[in-house]
Structure 1
Amino acid sequence: MSDVPRVRLSPEERRAQLVATGVNFLADHTLDELTMDELARRAGVSRPLLFHYFETRQGMHLAVVTKARDSLLVSTAPRLDLEPGERIHDTLLRITEFVQQHRGTFYSLVRGVASGDPAVRRVVDESRELNAQRLLEAFIELGMPDTALLRVALRSWVAFAEESLISLAIDREAHADGVVRFLETALRAVVTSTRDLEV
């Protein structure tokens, strides 16, 4: 018996429904556990219909990961009405809260880079690049010079933050404020270390 009653939808609506069902699956499961059979069961559609929309399991995974990534990026977009320092704090707080509310989704995104599918890895990496770029823009506003070393440091810090969020916000269920303080302290240290160095 399916979780969702079958209704007539347009092709665009049906595909969106299938992708949303896949993203919801990630709340309690890893991406590797998302099979065509499981998605078909949850969406209340036939397995051949999934192949019509996604062609392969990898194509389905790519669509789901892309949607999950976009949801994270939209939910945590920097508030440009805030001063740069406040903006960074606010963004980190909202990212931490997103992670705590969507644990499985975030875990699948971060671990997606270990996927055997280069397209999935690329989607995850694009998210990291955008988050690093958002931080770069804030620090430039704060007076930091835009250097190659700063860009490397911020990109590295994003990966560090992802692992910290998994360990603290997910595994240990630490309070969001404490997680944010830790991330901010590490971020300041990383950025400060680039100020007087040349590579």
Structure 2
Amino acid sequence: MNNSQQGGRVAPRGARATERSQARRAELITTGRKLFADTSYDALSMDDIARQAGVAKGLIYYYFTNKRGYYLAIIEDAVAELVERAGSTHDLPPVERVQRTVDGYLRYAEHHQAAYRAIISGGVGFDAEVLAIRETVRAELLATIARGAWGREDIPPLARTALVGWLAGVEGVTLDWIAERQVPRETVVALLVRGLGDTLRLVEEYEPSWPAPHRPQL
């Protein structure tokens, strides 16, 4: 019998082939994330990538069309991890939720510096697709902060503008921190969380119906 049993059901040969293909693609993305972790896009050729991945170059073309497609797939995978980190704190109290979100964000940037810089800077030549990926990260982080501060995501325009300003500051601070590494991560977390508290209180001044959490929470 050529079909395998999965959970008491027969898995067709085509399904098994698809699973193997998806697994192979995931392996290549994992390898790519390691390769691009500290190496810029332009510094790696397809020959370099294939050699270090231990595969034929044609296999990478098969799954990703070209180097740019491979790079975008790696960035999307990295962003998915960052977004998952941001969304995994929903069961925590507001103060711990914010601290864990910011700390997870910094940890990600610390361990995936090249990918983080690509996400924030817009990638290769300000790639529109990478910019769109960055907006996914921003939207998830803004939603996480809004839920923690006000228990909802549909916030007024002024509140959103203020939070976008804070997040732009987070991106700038993070880029500087991973470049200089002169300040402990815990201190940077405290700095950014305090800045968020100040931002929320400023929102309250302009939008009294959207009060900031009490100061001890942030």
Give the TM-score taking structure 2 as reference length.
Answer: 0.76
The counterpart of 1:185, out of the listed 194, 198, 210, is 194
The total of aligned residue pairs comes to: 189
- For residues 123 and 61 of structure 2, the distance between their equivalents in structure 1, rounded to whole angstroms, comes to 24
Contact 1:99/1:170 (CA < 8 Å) preserved in 2?
no
Return the structure number with greater relative CO, CA threshold 8 A, min gap 6.
1
Contact 1:18/1:39 (CA < 8 Å) preserved in 2?
no
CA-CA distance at 1:140 after TM superposition: 0.8
> In structure 2, do the counterparts of structure 1 residues 31 and 74 end up closer, same or farther at CA, with 3 Å as the change threshold?
farther
Identity across matched positions, percent: 26
Q: Which runs of 5+ in 1 are unaligned?
A: 1-8
- For residues 97 and 103 of structure 2, the distance between their equivalents in structure 1, rounded to whole angstroms, comes to 10
SS of 1:196 mapped into structure 2? helix
The counterpart of 2:94, out of the listed 80, 84, 87, is 84
1:167 aligns with 2:176: yes
> In structure 2, do the counterparts of structure 1 residues 113 and 196 end up closer, same or farther at CA, with 3 Å as the change threshold?
farther
Contact 1:115/1:121 (CA < 8 Å) preserved in 2?
no
- Report the AA paired with residue 40 of structure 1: A
CA-CA distance at 1:14 after TM superposition: 1.8
Q: CA RMSD in A?
A: 2.5
- Report the AA paired with residue 190 of structure 1: T
Runs of 4+ displaced beyond 4 Å: none
Contact 1:89/1:184 (CA < 8 Å) preserved in 2?
yes
Q: Which runs of 5+ in 2 are unaligned?
A: 1-18, 208-218
- For residues 23 and 175 of structure 2, the distance between their equivalents in structure 1, rounded to whole angstroms, comes to 33
The counterpart of 1:117, out of the listed 106, 113, 127, is 127
Residue of structure 2 equivalent to 1:73 = 83
Which entry has the higher C-alpha Rg, 1 or 2?
2
